Amino acid sequence: MGCNCGARAGGRATIYRLVLPNGVMRDYPTRQEAEAARRRGGGTVIVVNQ
């Protein structure tokens, strides 16, 4: 599996942000981690390019 550490051309990294129903936001390096957390606690996953 490839690295998602931001070493791409242009210095951009993709993170997955989970927005919980209570407004708390948590960032995850992989979509799988974000989706697993969403299944546990609800909320919405959005993709953020940094």
pLDDT at 50: 77
Q: Are 20 and 28 in contact (CB under 8 A)?
A: no
Helix then strand then coil, % of the chain, to nearest 5: 30, 30, 40
pLDDT at 4: 60
What lies within 8 Å, CB to CB, of 48 at 6+ separation is 14, 15, 16, 17, 27
Q: What is the pLDDT along the chain (50 residues), one digit of tens a residue?
A: 556 665 555 667 899 999 999 999 999 999 999 999 999 999 999 999 87
Mean predicted lDDT score pLDDT of the chain: 86
- Domain positions in the chain: 12-49
Report d(CA 25, CA 44) in Å as an integer: 10
Query: The whole model's pTM is what?
Result: 0.73
Classified as helix, coil or strand, 29 is: coil
pLDDT at 13: 87
pLDDT at 21: 94
